[in-house]
Homo-oligomer: A and B are copies of this chain.
Amino acid sequence: MKRTDFTDMFCPIARSLGRVGEWWSILILREAMYGATRFDEFEKNLKIAPNMLARRLSDLVAAGLLERRQYCARPPRFEYVLTEAGAAFQPVLLAFVKWGNDYFSPEGPSVLLVDRTSGQPVSPLLVDEHTGIPLTQDNVKFVAGPGASDSMTLRLIEAARRSDALRAAPMADIEAGR
């Protein structure tokens, strides 16, 4: 089966997904955020097959999310360090942590986020940077930006129309064409 290349899609979500490749890549980025830098650390922590790990690391380097750096000349040894773009993936990971803890942790959360200095628990909330207002499905919509293709622009207009309608009238009315 031909694999779809999500990187080519105009949508920033699809592109991001293309960039991180697959789940292992996200877990490798998680390990890097935890402070892992060396091949054997990633291997041990993730219990991932070495050939798969090597492929994923080199994909992440090619995608500009990790930098491969030599830290020892003899024998030559390399470490993998988050680039700026890789470190900027953190909010996505934190949003995943919160979602996983809120909905898929019947035995209680396994990972908590705490303030590094005070040790107090923190709870991630997505707000608008300028106004501080929490972003919800009800108050945010997606519109076409300068980089959108024509078909993407049409899609977003249709999506906005539909989600506005959903909010203006109960579903039954829409179904009945009222």
Interface string of A101-140 (1 = CB under 8 A from B): 1111101111111111100001111111111110111111
Among B127, B145, B159, contact of A127 (Cβ-Cβ < 8 Å): B127
Among B45, B95, B103, B162, contact of A95 (Cβ-Cβ < 8 Å): B95
CB of B159 within 8 A of CB of A109, answer: no
CB of B135 within 8 A of CB of A132, answer: no
CB of B17 within 8 A of CB of A23, answer: yes
Known pairs A101-B145, A123-B130; A12 contacts B95 (CB<8 A):
no
CB of A71 within 8 A of CB of B138, answer: no
Kindly list chain B residues whose C-beta atoms are within 8 Å of the C-beta of A110.
10-12, 144-145, 147-149, 152
Kindly list chain B residues whose C-beta atoms are within 8 Å of the C-beta of A105.
12, 15, 145, 147
CB of A95 within 8 A of CB of B152, answer: no
Give the B-binding residues of A (Cβ under 8 A): 6-7, 10-17, 19, 22-23, 26-27, 30, 33-36, 45, 64, 71-72, 85, 87-105, 107-117, 122-133, 135-149, 152, 155-156, 159, 162-167, 171, 175
Task: List the 8 shortest-distance A-B pairs measured between CB atoms, nearest first.
Answer: A12-B100, A34-B159, A108-B146, A35-B162, A108-B147, A109-B145, A35-B163, A16-B100
